[in-house]
């Protein structure tokens, strides 16, 4: 009998990554973390509690990253088309990380990023490249 093993979206991709003053780590899987009170992602249909409406848990569809450190906003400024400087802790924005859909939540340490699981490696590569660019620019200053 074949034994299936659960793997994380970022397993084997070299996390955590520390470059300059930034640290990029994987967030725990959303469905496992939900038992500890962390929110879950839901896809809603219908408007409120109307007949035929409902909600579907889509937590497994997303992979999470934490980007922490003082240069985190500068790193994301190279990747997203919106200004995240005014995003208060706990504030969230849905945008693109280059061509990858992303939900960005600000926290005291930096940002939490949720991307579709199928784009996990792509998003990771884009962020690491931006981290290197920001660190190189800071080294020149």
- Please give the backbone phi and psi of residue 5, each rounded to the nearest 5 degrees, phi first: -120, 130
Q: Does residue 7 lie within any of the structural domains?
A: no
> Would residue 1 count as lying in a domain?
no
Pair 88, 28: CB distance under 8 Å: no
The range of the structural domain enclosing residue 54 comes to 17-32+40-140
Number of domains in the chain: 1
pTM above 0.85, yes or no: no
pLDDT tens readout for residues 72-126: 999 999 999 999 988 999 999 999 999 999 999 999 999 999 999 999 999 999 9
Asked whether residue 77 is domain-assigned, the answer is: yes
- Inside any domain, residue 4: no
Does residue 114 form part of some domain? yes
Residue 2 belongs to some domain of the structure:
no
The neighbour count for residue 102, using CB atoms within 10 Å, is 24
Tell whether 113 is covered by a domain. yes
User: Has residue 63 been placed in a domain?
Assistant: yes
CA dihedral of 125, 127, 128, 133, whole degrees rounded to 10: 120
Tokens representing 92 are 């969230």
Residue among 138, 53, 68, 64 at smallest CA distance from 108: 68
| Band of residue 40 on the pLDDT scale cut at 50, 70, 90 | very low
């Amino acid at each position: 009998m074949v034994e299936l093993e659960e793997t994380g979206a970022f397993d084997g991709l070299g996390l955590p990554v520390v470059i300059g003053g930034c640290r990029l780590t994987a967030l725990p899987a959303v469905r496992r973390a939900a038992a500890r009170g962390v929110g879950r992602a839901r896809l809603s249909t219908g408007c409120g509690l109307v007949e035929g409406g409902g909600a579907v848990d889509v937590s497994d569809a997303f992979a999470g990253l934490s980007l922490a450190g003082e240069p985190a906003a500068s790193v994301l400024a190279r990747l997203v088309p919106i200004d995240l400087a005014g995003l208060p802790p706990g504030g969230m924005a849905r945008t693109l990380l280059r061509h990858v859909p992303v939900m960005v939540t600000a926290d005291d340490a930096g940002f939490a990023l949720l991307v579709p699981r199928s784009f996990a490696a792509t998003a990771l590569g884009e962020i690491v490249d931006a981290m290197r660019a920001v660190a190189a620019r800071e080294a020149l200053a």
